[in-house]
Structure 1
Amino acid sequence: MNKLIPFLIACIIFVSCGIQKEAKDDSSAAVNVMAYYVPREGYMPDQLPLEQLTHIIFSFSKVIDGKMQFRNENADSIMKQLVAQKEKYPQLKVMIACGGWTADGFSDAVFSEQSRTKFIASTIDFIEKYQLDGVDIDWEYPAIPAGGTKARPEDKENFTLLMKGLREAMDQLDRPQTLTFASAGWKRYYKNVELLEVMKYVDYMNVMTYDQAGGGTTFATHHTALGHRSLADIAETPLGVAMTQQNAELPEGEDLWEPQSAEEIICFCVDKGVDPKQIVIGAAFYGRGWKGVPPENNGLYQTNTGPISGGTSYSVLLTDFTEDDGYEKHWDAAAKAPFLYNLADSIFVTFDDTVSVKLKTQYAKENNLGGIMFWQLSSDSKDEASLLKAIYTEASKK
């Protein structure tokens, strides 16, 4: 899910977008809190704050020889340890995410009825082996070659057939199963899936409302903004000027370039007819940074000379990107997102913090979304600055 995606932006969608807000009900349940999870030292199954989650999605299994399988032999024992935690946390749903960025094999695995049957049967075997509560399909992306993956036009219909087949097979199991898929946070993706057909078979669509700017983006901008901004809002900035020029050169009928945001893509999906209760908003437990960023507007929407090197997980941002290291923290009220700027080193960093994930959780509650998810749990801190703690605290409020 942590991917380098270029800007793929489209037409303006007004923020209100028809999502029906309901009066607050003190008896209403908290929204789902779903964590994608990649194990690492210090974040093994018995070391996780599982009481703060409704779903944990182990990442990843892969499509290998047309079947769902683990590539890493250590994953088997860790998955079993994770499922064993349900004895202590019976509310927790343990799922498997199949795929991920640069994960190939989906297009071939679902190409024919025979190959789909093989993959679906292997998925059921996988669920039964580990006694899982569901599956998340992270195909990046149907009909769009990305990260070196194979894609063909038939993927659009075959993705629907895959999700239909999975739903039917999972419903035959002796316990309830949750079926989700990871969807992109940009509009071109939705031209390549039969969105409303797919939504008939899944419980939730986990919208990756991050990677709105990848490492190769030539402008320093937000990668996980909640707040909608139109092109007019940034028109005088270098990014706005570049977008305006590109729009002028586009053939008639092509999607226009616009700043991306979670509000925009969620409104887009609701306007397409998706039930808000099936939409899960995404948060990022990692940042993106660029070097060579000039100081105007504290680097926001300015040019850059390339991505910074090194890790930018949230826990690392807290320890290595501090005021003592020359980083000043800023808040963009329009984007509802924080960013860092280092004047001495000309570095700009975009990320989610406790305030922005709280606002995303509020947005999910106020707009009756299915919940909030994030990539990924072992990038969080374990102190009072924990992003999951901020999400859980807000999600639990009546």
Structure 2
Amino acid sequence: MANRHAVVAGAGIGGLTAALALHRRGWRVTVCERAPEPPTTGAGIGLAPNALRALNAIGVDAARAAGSAVPVTMGVRRSDGQWLTRADTADMAARYGMPPIAVPRPAFTAALAAALPPDVLRYGTAVTGVDDAAGRPVVRTAAGPDLPADLVVAADGIHSPLRRAYFPAHPGLHYLGEIAWRTIVDAPELRITAMSETWGRGRRFGVTPLADGRFYLYATAVVPAGTRSADPRAELRRRFGSWHDPIPALLDRVDRLDPADLLCNDLYDLAAPLPRLHHGRIAWLGDAAHAMAPNLGQGGCQAIEDAAVLAHLLPAGDAGDATGAGDCADGPGSVPAALAAYTAARRDRTDAVRLRARRVGRLGALRNPLAAAARDLAVRAVPSRLALRGMDDLFNGFHLPG
């Protein structure tokens, strides 16, 4: 008897979390990643209580694995520094059982990868297609050889080739009208303890404390898709240099960066939900399944939830043989039945989060002065305890299906 084999397309947070969860369920796992090596630069990621619960369910302590920072407060500010809404993370911890944490994305993915057997990850190996005509998929890769599998996890990102191949009638991606800059800077002397997002008119700037005095910074601006500046550091200074402290001081640190360490991307989400998150023995998760705006900080968190639920619903990997003899084609307890249950468990929740993130982004991106002023007044009018309660469905929404 040989363990069931899962091939994961993509070594991002969702793909690596799924690989680790499946490995711990007894599956033999191969992760194919088109990039030639793991990322060493990039951004941070906030792990909300729902994602931390999902990680705990598969035995991952994110703070211990990747280092973390817990902000003292979280909230939204105006460009002059006035707080529109603010919550103490101690109150969040009391309400949700744990505070959110922030970790460097490269360190977190490295920790997930390190928890896998050494022969699992194959960098520089792009998945070019899946042949499932015979009912059991064979994964084709550019590097070869073909990989027969009992399960394929499509974690191949926002531009997912596997999503396009299997859902050709789907409208695809929707441009959100903004570009985003992201980076990490080292500035321990600034002693910033708040995780904040500042709203202007058609512009936003976010600051997230990380471990060891570093900060994850992101900024957005409403511009046509494909807009790029010859000097993005100067562009950030032009757009945000007059905003409240500590933004100018943080931009001083950005000016010292290698330009390659400042990422710039157009922002997209999925134009409509997929009709389902599976096809036969293929399951989609993360951005490949439900790409969403970053406005709630839930893109990576929902990918982690996907991975935990998927592994929980699948049969144990050591319950079948290499040809699936212990796996009835479509009966209870089979892989196809588990994937149908995965769609039922995840599609509505992830689409609700996708739509909510889009709505929040539209508020933050308002450019009309009157509309932006009305928005600010409305946000300030909501008591902090009610604003926190409004996050209950997100932060308390993760559950493993019974």
TM-score normalised by structure 2 residue count? 0.26
TM-score normalised by structure 1 residue count? 0.27
Task: Determine which structure has the larger strand proportion and give its number.
Answer: 2
Task: Determine which structure has the larger helix proportion and give its number.
Answer: 2
Highest RCO, 1 vs 2 (Cα 8 Å, sep ≥ 6): 2
